[in-house]
């Protein structure tokens, strides 16, 4: 008989968008329900670029959590061309943020203030290397002449490989990898290089966006790629290699903003994220590898303690609703389409 129950050390989410205001209040509970900690992305409008705004944002996240929640948000600094390395170091030393996020300018949602030239921010990178602060990278080139499906592979070749060569001590997480090229590069790279993998890139390939019509709920950045890449990512995630760990990239946008003439990129997978990963590991006969991927490799890379608590998953059908109506603090519902809408998942949190 297959395993019916699975108890894991409590996992963390090493890449999530919690947003701000009403959306933050609506979605924070979904992440806190399963994860003990999360690396919270700084691409707010305006982005988190100062210690002061990071501390204020952390307070707003805490206020948005359900009563009694012990969830700990780990904040990140948003790199710009003009960011001051001293401010980054000051925030790191006092625990206001734990990593820096590099968005190439115009790569994705709220990245207009991002970095236009990685070489030009060498003083910041040198600071990160010296103080041991991880650099989290959205790894896509942005030039219009590079096909959208090639942007990750080209980024690795043009920018990531030279960056690692220039800064051998720099800790780097290549975020939300989507290609076999990225998986291979990380696997064969130095021990200072790791990657996060999302549930959606393990479940869907690019055909999902066009199945029976245009499907905005499967549109995210980096965009899902061919099936061979999805298979490579499943191999990486379930391999037991500590360079690959959990990061959902849950990126909520209201249904009205997704189903629009120019729909936003982002998949809201937070409500059933651990269940979504469990379905993959089960299918790959790798449930014994789930705990390390979800709960051990991330904290080890960041140099943080493992969580003491546990969660239990049980093999019970979980029907994912077509839509969620999540309330903000004023009781007004935000309508969102969750990842796996209308599907039944094989595992659920007990
Ligand atoms: C993210 C968002 O909406 O903030 N969107 C996405 O498709 N993943 C930004 C990002 O991580 O690229
Ligand atoms: Zn993201």
Whether 142 lines ligand 1, by a CB cut-off of 6 Å, is: no
pLDDT computed for residue 96 by the predictor:
98
Indicate the top mutation candidate among 108, 138, 196, 273 to test ligand 1's pocket, ranked by most ligand atoms within 8 A of CB.
Answer: 108
List residues with catalytic annotation: 249
pTM, rounded to two decimals: 0.98
pLDDT computed for residue 151 by the predictor:
98
347 C-alpha to ligand 1 centroid (Å): 26
Domain ranges of the chain: 5-349
Report the C-alpha gap between 54 and 36 in whole angstroms: 19
What's the Cα-to-Cα distance from 224 to each of 199, 227, 346, rounded to whole Å?
11, 9, 23
> Could you give the 3-state DSSP secondary structure of residue 326?
strand
Distance of alpha carbon 100 from its chain centroid, rounded? 14
pLDDT computed for residue 1 by the predictor:
74
Whether 255 lines ligand 1, by a CB cut-off of 6 Å, is: no
Residue nearest atom 5 of ligand 1, based on CA coordinates: 266
Please tell me the CATH code under which domain 5-349 is placed.
3.20.20.140
pLDDT computed for residue 114 by the predictor:
96
In tens digits, what is the pLDDT along the chain, a chain of 350 residues? 788 999 999 999 999 999 999 999 999 999 999 999 999 999 999 999 999 999 999 999 999 999 999 999 999 999 999 999 999 999 999 999 999 999 999 988 899 999 999 999 999 999 999 999 999 999 999 999 999 999 999 999 999 999 999 999 999 999 999 999 999 999 999 999 999 999 999 999 999 999 999 999 999 999 999 999 999 999 999 999 999 999 999 999 999 999 999 999 999 999 999 999 999 999 999 999 999 999 999 999 999 999 999 999 999 999 999 999 999 999 999 999 999 999 999 999 99
Whether 274 lines ligand 1, by a CB cut-off of 6 Å, is: no
Indicate the top mutation candidate among 43, 112, 195, 196 to test ligand 1's pocket, ranked by most ligand atoms within 8 A of CB.
Answer: 43
5 C-alpha to ligand 2 centroid (Å): 31
Report the C-alpha gap between 348 and 30 in whole angstroms: 14
> Could you give the 3-state DSSP secondary structure of residue 34?
coil
> Could you give the 3-state DSSP secondary structure of residue 91?
helix
pLDDT computed for residue 108 by the predictor:
87
DSSP 186: H
pLDDT computed for residue 163 by the predictor:
98
267 C-alpha to ligand 1 centroid (Å): 8
41 C-alpha to ligand 1 centroid (Å): 9
Whether 174 lines ligand 1, by a CB cut-off of 6 Å, is: no
Report the C-alpha gap between 39 and 26 in whole angstroms: 18
Q: H or E element: which one contains 207?
A: none
Q: Which of 301, 269, 292 is nearest to 74 (CA)?
A: 301
- Whether the CB-CB separation of 318 and 344 falls below 8 Å is answered with yes
Report the C-alpha gap between 82 and 49 in whole angstroms: 10
Ligand whose nearest atom lies closest to the CA of 254 = 1
């Amino acid at each position: 008989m297959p395993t019916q129950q699975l108890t894991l050390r409590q996992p963390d989410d090493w890449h999530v968008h919690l947003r701000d205001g009403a959306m933050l209040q609506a979605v924070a509970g979904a992440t806190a329900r399963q994860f003990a900690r999360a690396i919270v992305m700084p691409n707010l409008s305006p982005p988190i670029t100062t210690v002061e705004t990071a501390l204020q944002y952390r307070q707003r996240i805490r206020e948005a959590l359900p009563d009694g929640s012990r969830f700990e948000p780990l904040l990140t600094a948003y790199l710009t061309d003009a960011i001051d390395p001293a401010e980054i170091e000051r925030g790191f030393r006092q625990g206001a943020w734990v990593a820096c996020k590099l968005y190439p300018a115009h790569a994705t949602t709220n990245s207009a203030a991002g970095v236009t030239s990685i070489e030009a921010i060498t003083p910041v990178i040198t600071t990160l290397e010296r103080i041991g602060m991880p650099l989290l990278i959205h790894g896509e080139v942005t030039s219009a002449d590079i096909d959208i499906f090639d942007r990750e592979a080209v980024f690795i070749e043009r920018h990531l490989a030279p960056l690692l060569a220039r800064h051998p001590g720099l800790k780097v997480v290549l975020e939300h990898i989507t290609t076999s090229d990225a998986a291979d590069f990380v696997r064969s790279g130095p021990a200072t290089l790791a990657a996060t993998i999302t549930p959606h890139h393990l479940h869907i390939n690019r055909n999902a966006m066009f199945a029976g019509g245009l499907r905005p709920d499967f549109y995210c950045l980096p965009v899902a790629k061919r099936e061979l890449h999805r298979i490579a990512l499943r191999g990486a995630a379930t391999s037991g290699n500590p360079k690959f760990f959990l990061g959902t990239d849950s990126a909520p946008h209201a249904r009205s903003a997704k189903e629009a003439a120019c729909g936003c990129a982002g998949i809201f997978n937070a409500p059933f994220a651990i269940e979504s990963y469990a379905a993959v590991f089960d299918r790959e006969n790798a449930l014994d590898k789930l705990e390390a991927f979800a709960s051990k490799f991330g904290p080890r890379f960041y140099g943080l303690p493992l969580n003491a608590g546990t969660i239990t998953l049980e093999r019970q059908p979980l029907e994912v609703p077509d839509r969620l109506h999540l309330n903000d603090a004023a009781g007004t519902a935000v309508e969102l389409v969750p990842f796996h809408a209308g599907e039944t998942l094989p595992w659920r949190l007990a």
